[in-house]
Amino acid sequence: MIEYTLSEIATIVHGKLVDHTGFSDQKIKQIVTDSRTFFKGENALFFALTGPRNNGHKYISNLEKKGLNAFVVSDASSITPDAAFIQVEDTTKALQHLAEYHRKKFQYPVVGITGSNGKTIVKEWLHELLSEEFRIVRSPKSYNSQIGVPLSVLLMDNHFNLGILEAGISKSEEMKKLAPIIQPEIGILTNIGDAHQENFQSKQQKTEEKLLLFSKAKKLVFCVDDKNTTPLVQAFCKSHGVEAVSWTRQNNKALIQFTTYQENGNTTLEARISEKKYHFKIPFTDASSVENACHCFATAWILSENTEKILSRFGQLAPVAMRLEIKQGINNCLLINDYYNSDLASLSIALSVLHQQAKKGHKKKQVILSDIQQTGIPEDELYRQVNHLLQRWEIDRLVGIGPKISAHQDAFSLQKAFYPSTEDFEQEFLRTRFSDSIILIKGARAFTFEKISSLLQQKAHQTVLEIDLNALVHNLNIFRGLLHPSTKTMVMVKAFSYGTGDVEIAKLLQFQNVDYLAVAVADEGVELRQAGIQIPLIVMNPEEHSFQHIIDYRLEPNIYSIKLLEAFEEAVDRNALQQFPIHLKLETGMNRLGFKTEEEIESILSSLEQNNRLKIVSVFSHLATSDDPTFDDFTHEQFQRFDVLSDKIISRLPYKIDRHILNSSGIERFPGKQMEMVRLGIGLYGVSVTGLPLQNISTFKSIISQIKKLKPGETVGYSRKGQIERETEIAVVPVGYADGLDRKLGNSNGEAYLKGQRVPVIGNICMDMLMLDVTDLKAQPGDSVEFFGPHISISEVAQKTATIPYEVLTGISQRVKRVYLHE
């Protein structure tokens, strides 16, 4: 933990201290870079970071109201007399300078990790393997960016004696800034893949950029089996005097020779170094896990005085849950599962997610927390810090599990209960103690908190739709990158956010500072308001009976006819309101809702000019064929028609009115027509018409219920459509057309992904189940089955069912449990 005074920080970052309040001698113990993650607290310093689409300076006023009184700024106009300010030229560079200064205070070794894939897994596995020998500080989650790296380094203090930090870059010149901040003594280059390749001229350039992290390292761990990168790495080591700790699985020339064989879901590895041999086993068989384990062994061999002592720990390694799970729990509870590890940094991050997800219906905030292990901090001080964090985030109740946290229960000043072990909690579990709450389940892996999650989880259909919230943010930022900085973004969350779940998606979008959300009907908007959504909400299909709800919940209706305008104006008049925001829909060729003629526009304007009850916030239209180049002439006709009608409105009224006509495909194909706002829909969910590097956000999956062996001549399913012509194994899976899987996918038209392979659907799809041909796959009941996701695209499913991705997503039944993954 850092502990500098403001005046010391001003000197370190070469800034000018402006302090009219006497805060300059205040000790800073918390760095804040995102206003949304600060709830309350003392001794905090906010860096007002600026980027292409956001500016931290505009959040200073709100942070002052929360009690934060120290800021690093680059805009002098943000300085107020009510707080202390450090003025610098560039706030991001200032943060990096502070971290670089802080790093130099510590002499213990630091392991620096970079590469395209595997950085976070290698970091977490090394922590698992070495935590008995070392007190380790490591990057929280995947904090490896230009901001994440300095925040990670600022966690270093004298309680630790080893650092493990990861660094990621997406363009050239970035690693030059990170290398002096991390200053690794030992480096690990995981691999060089295709991630972020678009910002580099070649794979060689990207490799050379990443290697800059190790310019002053003593040793570098890398695999020599990549013939493209190995010469570059070897030349780098020679020119910089770095000792190469090379390894191979292909019998190439290297310091460490690995041989492997697989059996029963495990991989046994033999590592040979000169004449010395080491044997260990990992509970994985995939190539990525084996590669990550080799990196970990090589690094542990460098660091550990007794390599044999850690070999057995490889067998206890587990998949790294780099993302939180958010799912519905019992008794109106919402669960946030984060039970891979437990340390102060990741606890603070998880508590901010809990606060972000909390809504009015959740009357309590509860945390189930295990012992926090291997921090290097004296336990009395450690649990005082935990109590301080819980108080800062206004947690109502703590459930502590483990002998150490139980022994320090007096350190906690909130409602609390303690159990020596997870088994003790299970034995004394009462459902009634958990209701109307949002519950963070946070624990070290050894405590097997997945058992607690199972107890608290709403028992439901084993078929689930997983929503990757990080992929959604990635897609949002891809589209934002196509927009001018001044262009606003409206995101469509109608129809249950295209089947992905409205409240959770809306909360994330609000957190990401989108400008507008759009729902189909007022009831959807009311639910979002009740869940704590505060940003503007437009109702696309308002109905007269819902007008009072629209007014009461500050929703903004889309007005598409004279009759609707007059009726809503009367409702506003009854409520004695003025300048109530509305949006006007113009018809330009879709021939659905909207004002089509200049005469209709004239009638609207005459009505609006007679009184001050309504105010037009935006005028918009909808493109009918923006995704199809065949109809581009028609699309341009729509643009022209929209210009004529919208200009007539804007020229007559004395205030600013936004215009928007681009949908997702329009944003991609017609960036010159983005005007003041765009509407993002299916693109957010991973569908692109031009090949944008979007990520899949939805995975529809289930598990195998039963395996059957069939003989030639037997049939499967209704109408005996599944004809068996050879010895066949089928898997019965509890998902059917009532869950949203179209019957057209039956009879080998559709496929599922299972145990690394695609397998066909055999026979007709039933209401609640289907059958798969899994012959020779050695499938077992309980194995996971994917119907669309990372291995089968939703666009492919749509094509096979002769529909569009919208229908596939929105067709997923409400009985299918939504599970949200969030990093």
Neighbours of 640 (CB within 10 A): 11
Which residues are CB-contacts of 808 (< 8 A; sequence separation ≥ 6)? 740, 742, 788, 794, 797, 798, 801
**Which of 643, 591, 604 has the alpha carbon at shortest distance from 620?**
643
Note whether 585 and 601 are within 8 A (CB): no
The beta-carbon contacts of 807-810 under 8 Å, at least 24 apart in sequence, are 808/740, 808/742, 809/498, 809/499, 809/500, 809/685, 809/698, 810/495, 810/496, 810/498, 810/499
Using CA atoms, how far apart are residues 679 and 681, in angstroms rounded to an integer? 6
Which is catalytic among the residues 141, 219, 494, 585?
494
Note whether 292 and 267 are within 8 A (CB): no
* Encoded amino acid at 318, one letter: A
CA distances from 78 to 30, 64, 573, 753 (A): 21, 12, 40, 54
CA distances from 400 to 343, 448, 496, 533 (A): 14, 14, 36, 32
What φ, ψ does residue 123 adopt, rounded to 5°?
-60, -45
Note whether 303 and 134 are within 8 A (CB): yes
Strands (DSSP E) found in 371-463: 397-401, 415-419, 437-442
What is the chain's alpha carbon radius of gyration, rounded to the nearest angstrom? 29
Half-sphere exposure of 547 (CA within 13 A, CB side): 17
Helix (H) or strand (E) holding 285: none
**Which of 696, 619, 635 has the alpha carbon at shortest distance from 669?**
635
Which residues are CB-contacts of 571 (< 8 A; sequence separation ≥ 6)? 547, 548, 551
Q: Where are the alpha helices (DSSP H) in 304-392?
A: 307-311, 344-357, 379-392
- Give the β-pairing of 614-620 and 658-660: parallel
Using CA atoms, how far apart are residues 73 and 58, in angstroms rounded to an integer? 11
Check whether 592 is labelled as a binding-site residue.
yes
Using CA atoms, how far apart are residues 457 and 817, in angstroms rounded to an integer? 11
Which residues are CB-contacts of 565 (< 8 A; sequence separation ≥ 6)? 559, 582, 604, 607, 614
The answer to whether residue 718 is catalytic is yes
Residue 363 in 3-state DSSP? coil
**Which of 705, 724, 717 has the alpha carbon at shortest distance from 780?**
705
Report which DSSP code applies to 659: E
Q: What would the two tokens of residue 540 be?
A: 């696309």
Report which DSSP code applies to 459: P
- Give the β-pairing of 364-370 and 334-338: unpaired
The answer to whether residue 494 is catalytic is yes
Q: What would the two tokens of residue 213 be?
A: 């992290």
What φ, ψ does residue 696 adopt, rounded to 5°?
-65, 130
* Encoded amino acid at 666, one letter: G
Q: How far is CA 500 from the centre of its chain?
A: 14
Using CA atoms, how far apart are residues 4 and 26, in angstroms rounded to an integer? 8
Three-state SS annotation for 544-558: HHHHHHHHHCCCEEE
Note whether 123 and 142 are within 8 A (CB): no
Check whether 767 is labelled as a binding-site residue.
yes
- Give the β-pairing of 537-539 and 516-519: parallel
Residue 311 in 3-state DSSP? helix
Which is catalytic among the residues 101, 108, 278, 718?
718
Name the binding residues.
Answer: 592, 767
Name the binding residues for substrate.
Answer: 592, 767
Task: List, by residue number, the catalytic residues.
Answer: 494, 718
